[in-house]
Chains A and B, each alone.
Chain A
């Protein structure tokens, strides 16, 4: 299965646009990109999931790992525009409570952090 990952700086965040199916075969590719960004000191990340048609638990663990790393560095991870199926796995896993999820990329980019997470 194919997966493409593109990044773009917008305001004070990096928008990581993911397209394709995020599973155990493709998740390492996204992980590599995230590792790259973190090494460059980019710790405010918005994942645009509009083109992600599927995400399994390995895919979820990539976001959890990104959240752990950016938390430590004082950054943020936000998810944007998940399709129905991906939103469902975020809900079933309960991770929607931890990985802040927004209906659109614009909302995710401009969102204000609550004082306490």
Chain B
């Protein structure tokens, strides 16, 4: 007699569903249609669940997987998984853990047998959103449980994402303090203006860094550097290199030994062997207005003096971390008592010269911007910001990479 008694119900069910859909459509806030995946090997139980949902006239799309393996392949787009804890291919909690591991944003409810209620409680502790006991559920309770499970999962997900963002921001701020320190100097013969801007590609920091250390009344050391790559690892490595450099300089290590030591730190601390860094260092003698410039794969600083802007004519060596070689040193005449030295990372000069153009700004383009009459009106502390603004204007949007800049200024500054 089972057959005939079921058949009329089965044919009436779609009518009941469309009725609910209509009613829902007229209401002020139609409940969202939820996609539910039932993981159940017992046909009878699967039938029962379908019947209960129909009875509640609830807007659900129900799909049935008869094994955990099948369920894994059908998870896409599912809002809630209803898992029978008694599946043959994953008895009890193994199955639940496997499913939780791959469920992503889908909520998970478990179905337990009538005498296994403690299992359900333990399943929730394990990470399931809710449990239901077979034979003690009616349509209304089932549909409400599924809906609540989905809402609870969403709230949990949002809280988790928010926490992740908070952690990332805190980490970013910590790295930023490490990469971009306060200059360590007390001379009033020169001033230092610093600037940093993250690239458009990510909210996180890249590996750009700078530092300024004074070791004698007339002696100032500056560094600007860039670790290739753009993850937290590179930013952290940038901090290490910057701190290593500062320690070596403060420790009065002979100048020609500083970069080789920094390179050793890089090669022993980096995550993988292709990671390299470019740096420019300048040691300024404030009495003679002369500087020793070292470039390891880094574009040259630009000297502003006598109304002109030009890259310092310093010989460049290879980046740090690829083939350890002493970085060449060049002595540069800074000139009179009115000059500025602009040190920067390549993010500044990698923008396009015009929107859509292939050509990039590069060092000549940078000097071109500094030669514009407008640039002479910009106060020196604001010059880095103005340069980035002009570079972005040419680029037709934010620069892709991070930009770090240092301006060292003496007297009138140009």
**Which residue on chain A has the smallest CB distance to residue B230?**
A24
Interface majority SS (helix, strand, loop, mixed), chain A: helix
Asked if residues B201 and A24 are in contact (CB atoms below 8 Å), the reply is: yes
Contact count band on A: 20 to 34
User: Using an 8 Å CB-CB cutoff, how does the interface string of A59-80 with B read, 1 for contact, 0 for none?
Assistant: 0111011001000000000000
A94 and B230 form a contact (CB under 8 A): no
Assess A24 versus B274: contact at CB under 8 Å? Given A54-B358, A95-B322: no
- Chain B residues with CB under 8 Å of A54's CB are 350, 358, 360
Of residues 63 through 117 on chain A, the ones whose CB sits less than 8 Å from some CB of chain B are: 64-65, 68, 85, 88, 91-95, 97-98
Task: Check A93 against B400 for contact (C-beta < 8 Å).
Answer: no
Interface-central residue, B201, B230, B274, B297, by most chain A CB under 10 Å: B274
Interface segment among B177-185, B252-260, B313-321: the answer is: B313-321
Are B318's CB and A57's CB within 8 A?
no
CB proximity of A21 to chain B, nearest CB, Å: 8
A56 touches B350 (CB 8 A): yes
Residues of B46-75 contacting chain A, CB below 8 A:
none
Are B229 and A56 touching (Cβ within 8 A)? no
CB of B206, distance to nearest CB on chain A (Å): 9
B276 within 8 Å of A by Cβ? Answer: yes
Residue A17, interface by CB 8 Å: no
B176: chain A residues within 8 A (beta carbon):
none
Q: Does A58 contact B (CB under 8 A)?
A: yes
A93 to B327, CA, bound (A): 12
Interfacial residues of chain B within 289-347, with CB under 8 A of chain A in the complex: 296-299, 316-319, 322-323, 346
Contact across chains for B201 and A97 when beta carbons are under 8 A apart: no
CB pair A98 B322 closer than 8 Å: yes
Q: Which listed residue (B274, B297, B360) contacts A68, Cβ 8 A?
A: B274
Within 8 A of A (CB), among B166-213: 201
B400 touches A94 (CB 8 A): no
Q: Which residue of A lies closest to B199 (CB)?
A: A24
Minimum C-beta distance from A50 to chain B (A): 14
Q: Give the docked Cα–Cα distance between A68 and B272 (Å).
A: 11
B103 sits at the interface (CB 8 A): no
**Does B143 belong to the interface (CB within 8 Å)?**
no
Inter-subunit contact B273/A56 (CB<8 Å): no
Q: Mark B350-367, 1 if CB is under 8 A from A, else 0.
A: 100000001110100000
Check B274 against A23 for contact (C-beta < 8 Å).
no
Interface residues of B in 342-393 (CB under 8 A from A): 346, 350, 358-360, 362
Instruction: Check A95 against B297 for contact (C-beta < 8 Å).
Output: yes
List, in ascending order, chain A residues with CB within 8 A of B275's CB: 61
Decide if A97 touches B278 in the complex (CB within 8 Å).
Answer: no
Give the docked Cα–Cα distance between A93 and B276 (Å).
10
Does B228 interact with chain A (Cβ within 8 Å)? yes
Q: Name which residue of chain B comes closest to A53, CB basis.
A: B358
B273 touches A93 (CB 8 A): no
A57-B226, A85-B359, A93-B278 given; A64·B400 CB < 8 A: no
Q: Do B201 and A94 touch across chains, with their CB atoms under 8 A apart?
A: no
Contact of B322 among A24, A58, A64 (CB under 8 A): A64
Asked if B84 CB lies within 8 Å of chain A CBs, one says no
A94 with B228: CB separation less than 8 A: no
Beta-carbon contact of B323 and A97 below 8 Å: yes
A62 to B276, CA, bound (A): 11
Write out the residue numbers on chain A whose beta carbons fall within 8 Å of the beta carbon of B278.
57, 93
Query: Does any Cβ of A come within 8 Å of B40's Cβ?
Result: no
With a 10 A CB-CB cut-off, give which of A53, A56, A57, A58 has the most chain B CB atoms. Answer: A57
In the complex, how many angstroms separate the beta carbon of B365 from the nearest chain A beta carbon?
11
* Chain A proximity of B281: nearest CB distance (Å): 15
Q: Quick one: which of A24, A85, A92 contacts B297, CB cutoff 8 A?
A: A92
Say whether A5 faces chain B, with CB atoms less than 8 Å apart.
no
Interface positions, chain B 230-280, Cβ under 8 Å from A, are 230, 272-276, 278
A61 to B299, CA, bound (A): 17
Given A24-B401, A98-B323, does the pair A93, B318 have CB atoms closer than 8 Å? yes
Residue among A24, A25, A97 facing the most chain B CB atoms (10 A cut-off): A24
Known: A92-B297, A94-B317, A94-B319. 17 other contacts (CB 8 A): A24-B201, A24-B230, A54-B360, A56-B346, A56-B400, A57-B226, A57-B346, A61-B274, A61-B276, A62-B274, A64-B274, A88-B362, A92-B316, A93-B297, A94-B316, A98-B318, A98-B323
Using a CB–CB distance below 8 Å, which chain B residues touch chain A? 201, 226, 228-230, 272-276, 278, 296-299, 316-319, 322-323, 346, 350, 358-360, 362, 400-401
Pick the 10 closest A-B CB pairs, nearest first. A94-B318, A65-B274, A93-B297, A57-B228, A53-B358, A64-B274, A61-B228, A61-B274, A94-B297, A93-B319
